[in-house]
Structure 1
Amino acid sequence: MTEYGFSATIEPRYRDIDTYEHVNHAVHVTYMEEARMRFFRDVVGQLRIDTVIANLEVDYERPIRLPDTVEVGVGVAEVGETSLTLAYDIRADGEPAASGRTTQVIVDEDGRPTPLPGDWRDALEAHRIDAAE
């Protein structure tokens, strides 16, 4: 796995499988979300992060099937004033299955963009990866 500095193991469930007998394409986004929440909990120290997704990209490389073991690497591609971009490396049994990116905007209680807290910034910078990955 590319060195993303953080990874989450996710077990595909039977309900993730579609009629083509592989994990449905939309479920990859759920795997990214699960890994992102674990990343925020373990790296930033926050389970509740007030963000909205401004952009989401997924590139599919190969199907994920039962009983594949799924590993989702998470790394920080960019840190802005009010946003951050995370990159994802999704692997099934060690082989590349998909990659993705999400851009989150930090928002206040009124839903307006707000600056990233300094302690979050430090934790995120420690997990920065080469944006070209």
Structure 2
Amino acid sequence: MPHSFSLRVYYEDTDLAGIVYYANYMKFIERARSEWVREIGVDQVALKAEAGIVFAVRRLEADYLAPAKFDDMLDVVTEVKDISAARITLTQDVMRGNDVLFKSVVTLVCLGETGRPSRLPADIRQLMQR
């Protein structure tokens, strides 16, 4: 089931041309992922403290299709594409109404305290697959 996160474009998000600076789309999709994880019931602070597990971006594919501008209301739609033992692949689209402005495929890895890949706990995997 897709997750939607709404945000407004502020002046600080734009460049000299008045459009969203390309790197800020990464911030938008990061915020949306954090809210998605929170809303499905995963406490990332507790996960790190109790199990030593964190999520890290391993790979990002990005397509910029149309510009967002100052004061636009945007929605970031996040959907699970695939989950394996230590990897989560998501699609994240930034929309303005029905228009897709930015498309991405994000691969996250689950890392343990040593910084090496770690298995995603089964209960969290189940929450993400709903």
TM-score (normalizing by structure 2): 0.88
Cα separation, 2, equivalents of 1:39 and 1:101 = 15
Identity among equivalent positions (%) equals: 25
| Corresponding letter in the other structure for 1:96 | V
Structure 2: gaps (5+ residues):
48-53
Q: Report how far residue 44 of structure 1 moved.
A: 4.1
Q: Specify the alignment match of 1:59 in structure 2.
A: 63
Structure 1: unaligned runs, 5 residues or longer? 127-133
Aligned residues: 123
Give the RMSD, CA atoms, in angstroms: 1.3
Q: CA deviation at 1:58?
A: 1.0
Contact 1:70 1:92 in 2 (8 A): yes
SS at match of 1:86: strand
Tell me whether 1:83 sits opposite 2:80 in the alignment.
no
Aligned mate of 1:35, from 6, 10, 32: 32
In structure 2, distance between residues paired with 1:60 and 1:123: 30
Partners of 1:43 and 1:100 in 2: how far apart? 21
2:126 corresponds to which of 114, 122, 125: 122
